[in-house]
Structure 1
């Protein structure tokens, strides 16, 4: 993504949704998707009222530590408060359809020694990424933004 500070952008890839889970909750779907190069699998709980998905959807996903284009850290106000105050500067959130903030709480090494699994919680909506160690190592931070849009 041009213009985003390299330290803030941890991971970006394109995915195709290949399965939706059975409904367990009224407003939550669990999507299962695979990256274009088939190297990364994600499982993601999403609010289906805010971002409805179906099998076959193509998504672009970015995980970043900041929503500022220059990669600077967010202040205490939060990204929604800045938007409400009419700040003239935009943020990455303006380019995406679905944005959440959460905590990376666990990593597991794959059995083959070449992959890892990262677990992230966005206020109870969970995500897991499984893929090559090299691609997912940048996620070794505590708090992140997940930004998703349709391709």
Structure 2
């Protein structure tokens, strides 16, 4: 992945458990960052589009733009760019699962070293808990979630 200014976060995770499914097409996955387990994630994921199982290794990234140069996305959505037959490469090209959502809440831990960020992707929720230093860049309004399985 490019080192663009638009990229806020990228980390490798291993899925440690799946919740009992409450919905037909959604799994909530729980994972810890590798190798140090310093960040925990819970993520609702459309299991028809991106099936996961315990032990799967994922790369998870968050970005403010899908443009490789970090420029702001214009009025077109990322799907519109692909439909228009644009040959411009985007960050989404390197990932299997892409969503757009809103960062809606932050919680500071009592230790002053860790925070928890919450993001909603059209009702599919994600929480990231970890070091203040790693997660502070997420203090933005809207983000793209990009996920791929590590092979």
| Partner Cα separation in structure 2 for residue 94 and residue 121 of structure 1 | 22
Gaps of 5+ in 1: none
Q: Which residue number in structure 2 is paired with residue 27 of structure 1?
A: 25
| Partner Cα separation in structure 2 for residue 127 and residue 71 of structure 1 | 23
Deviation at 1:112, TM superposition (A): 1.5
| Partner Cα separation in structure 2 for residue 90 and residue 133 of structure 1 | 32
| Partner Cα separation in structure 2 for residue 23 and residue 79 of structure 1 | 29
Deviation at 1:90, TM superposition (A): 1.5
Q: Which residue number in structure 2 is paired with residue 8 of structure 1?
A: 6
Deviation at 1:111, TM superposition (A): 2.2
Deviation at 1:95, TM superposition (A): 0.9
Q: TM-score, normalising length from structure 1? A: 0.97
Q: Give the alignment's Cα RMSD to 1 decimal.
A: 0.7
Between the two proteins, the alignment pairs up a number of residues equal to 149
Secondary structure in 2 aligned to 1:80? helix
Q: Which residue number in structure 2 is paired with residue 148 of structure 1?
A: 147
Q: Which residue number in structure 2 is paired with residue 60 of structure 1?
A: 59
Q: Runs of 4+ in structure 1 displaced over 6 angstroms?
A: none
